[in-house]
Structure 1
Amino acid sequence: MSKKKRLSQLFPFSLRDFLLSIAIFFCAVECCSFFRLAESSDGFATPVFILAVLLISRFTSGYLFGLVASLLGVICVNYIFTYPYLSLNFTLSGYPLSFLAFFMVSIITSTLTTQAKQQEKLRMENEKEKMRANLLRSVSHDIRTPLTSIVGATSTILDNPSLPPAEQKELLEDVRSDAQWLIQVVENLLSITRIGSDQANIKKEPEAAEEILGEAVRKFRKRYPQVPVEVCAPQELLLVPMDPILIEQVLSNLLENAVLHGKSVSRIQVAVQREEGWARFSVADDGQGIAPDVLPRLFDGTLKHSETPSGDGKRNMGLGLSVCLAIVRAHGGTMEAQNLDQGAEFTFRLPL
């Protein structure tokens, strides 16, 4: 990394950070002006400006604005809020040491706050890489099975022209089923690529939640017409900021997982409702529920034993749920799962 690029990362400049820093610093000046009218001593200004430096460091990027605020805070406390007022004077007894201490505390505060943000960003990047690695590791092993099945079925049909139509139809249905599963895997991979790329930010637009629910359920019914799905939506129009394709992907994964892993599922309920400042989406089934020892690892993509009932190696639960969680988090939301009296419920919330 070049020195210039390194400096631009440590000391980035943006209009948003500039205006935010001015606003916080102005509030600190106004607070100290008010305190000076009510208090004859001068000791109140230093902690107020240290708090201002802390807030500026917390809500801006890099070191630039925090360090500038530290320097301006020292000057402002000395010039405006320390006797003699409206003049710089570091020669009075005790002032050189106190202002040096304030400056060092401000710089340390700015530095520690910035480092904490960078560590949090690094932690999120590590989680993202871990999630993508889990996904790719799952796909690399499991994608061979349906491909082998497709090749075997098509070869059987081509090599045996006299095969009865009923057997040909059964083989073609197997090919279609495996192809649909492969499409789902590819969609999951594309979703991970979109949310994991620094160049591709999620673009959220207000979307009608019931329309996204309806589209996901419509596609689900085409694949699983034998499973009834009940859709519950509020009477009023609920607009939720989201990427509609990705959220539809989440709902599709949850619906498919309910069928594949609920085993005895005879009914699914999909719902959305307003919950304070959130939109709460839920997918509930009446199946066998989730094993208690699986719940803590449900979303990390490491459920190697969670195969479909047919034993074909398609680990939709471990694969799909890690994708779902990544998408929901990228929208600033939360996701959880719980067992009901009968069956299980997956819930995710998106901020309104």
Structure 2
Amino acid sequence: MQEPDSRSTKESEGSEARLSVAAFLRAHREALLGDWQQAVLEHLEGRVPARDPWLIDHLPELLSTLADAVDAGPETLDERLLQLAHAAARLDQGFDLGEVAQEYALLRRCIHRRLEDQEQRLRPGDLTRLEEALDRVVTRTMKFFWEMKQRTLQTLDRMAEATLDDPDMETLLERLLTRLMEATLTVDAAAVMLLEDDGLVVRAAVGLGTGEVKGQRVPMGRGVTGQAALLRQPFFVRSAATDPRVLLEPLRQQDLRALYGVPLLEGERLLGVAYMGSRTAFTFSDADTLLFHAVAQRASAHIAQAELHAREHEARREAERSLAQLDSLVDSAPVGVAFLDTQLRYLRVNDVLANLNRKPLEAHQGHVPGEMIRDGAVEPIEHALRRVLETGQPVQDVLLEGPDARRGGSGYWRADYFPVRTTDGALLGVGCTVVDVTDFKRAEAALQQAIDFREELLAVLGHDLRNPLHAVNASAFMLGRSDGLDPTSRRAVDRIRKSSARMGRMINDILDFASSRLGGGIPMKAQRMNMTELCQGALEELQVTYPERPLSLRVQGGDLEGHWDPDRVAQVLGNLVVNALQHARNDTPVTTTLTDEGADVVMRVHNEGDPIPEDLLPRLFDPFKASRIPEEGGKQRSLGLGLYIVHEIVQVHGGSVHVESDLERGTTFTVRWPRVPPPRGLLPP
């Protein structure tokens, strides 16, 4: 067997093409990106990161930078590292130094694994230069990260000092912006715009154009600041003096170049926009923007806190004002007021209630009603209080009676008890109000006594007038039948007969009113009768009394029989017709219409004339109301009992009565008579 030629093997190895690490990084950028993303997820043990990996956007640039460093040497990284945004982005997102170092370590591991999978040998020195470049990237980034962290902390410490004397919001914001300018030499102007209604208003400013820009307003969605607020995203303008999107004219007049701003947010709530500008720089460094973000976040927190304090202060002032008003109302109210806890101990009473209990105001505190209230009233009061606690519902109109030391005799008080709750419904205790109704009760008793006396007097008077009135009526009837009366005498006799008939109806109304109001009710004796025959007879009698006025009867339907009291039906018809005659025009008829409507017979009495005034309609069937047309000399035509008696009689029969009145159609009273009245116990009240 022939031995291989060792020289030829070395020549073959020397001529073998070596892999360039720089070319590898450029060719495998996408694969390295995928490897790194997977490594991050594995490092998080499958947990979805709360913050997006920052290297995703910067990895292509970083890999290109590393490739150039492998070709030209790690020294070329120094200037370019100053422009890398890795550490600034991570610092802005709140990552700590260990997290950033771990991400670089994962990137280094991914590159090494890919290189190990390559079949080609690496070009001599490339791996060393790659490691030096990665070390320099990490070292430089860590240093930048640490310096920025320290710078931010120092600035925030100085900002915290600016809040120690609790300044107002505008002063506080100006102090914060001043600390920013002191820490950032390139910043020549800075301001905070707060959201007010539908626009942004400059409320704090420092640096160039301060006096001119304060108070300026930009509508939401307009210009760079309005768009930043609307979209809730930062904005950057390279030349503020010439960019038409800059709507704040003072910024353009100051020849500002770089302009950078961020929205001020409290969670999801927009507070405003903060911006900084430079007259010398066309752009801000990552360190400056990072510091500005920190200042903006701190400003947002202070703005939100100041708003919260302002709302709390206003709420406290409003509560104190409301409490003072309530105290004044409770103390000056002419009623007794008290509040008791769930153990029914007095927590607060006013002077009125203390005087009612005849105990000092301060003596009520912590004591129960049984220790403060007169013996006779304790039981109903405690019963009402316990009922409120048990049911959670108010107890109203509790009438209390006891000796009246001030006026003598018996005194009366009306008490209301109600639950007192918190806004979420928890029961705190029981409130009560006590009103002295002694004068009212005494006046009520006196009034009732007067009413009873009047009604009894009317009943006696009506009964005693019947006999002499019958004599007058009989005498007038006999005189009317006499021959030889001259026309003047006959007219006088007719007037006597009409007046006596009217007086008879009035006396009947008075007696019926007295009967209904004194508890006996209007008596009724229902029997089977024909409504047509009864109404025809009643109208004929009225026609004799009023011969000059046409009284007509119309019947619609054949069956008009039912069970009614004939005398009461005639009384209703007579009162309605006489009422119509009094208010109709002298040349117009009064028409009565009877209609068969199945279970009811409907009676309608119609007259033409002035309509009933609207203010009289709601009380038309009340007793003793004023007549709508006064007699000569200012006297009223009647006692107003006729329509009241009509209503009562119809109610006794289980029917109804109502009126319609207007200028065009006249006035019509409609009475509905059920053919079979219900039992008295089932009548409506």
Q: TM-score normalized by structure 1? A: 0.49
Q: TM-score normalized by structure 2? A: 0.27
Q: Which has the higher contact order (CA 8 A, sep 6+)?
A: 1
Instruction: Determine which structure has the larger strand proportion and give its number.
Output: 2
Instruction: Determine which structure has the larger helix proportion and give its number.
Output: 1
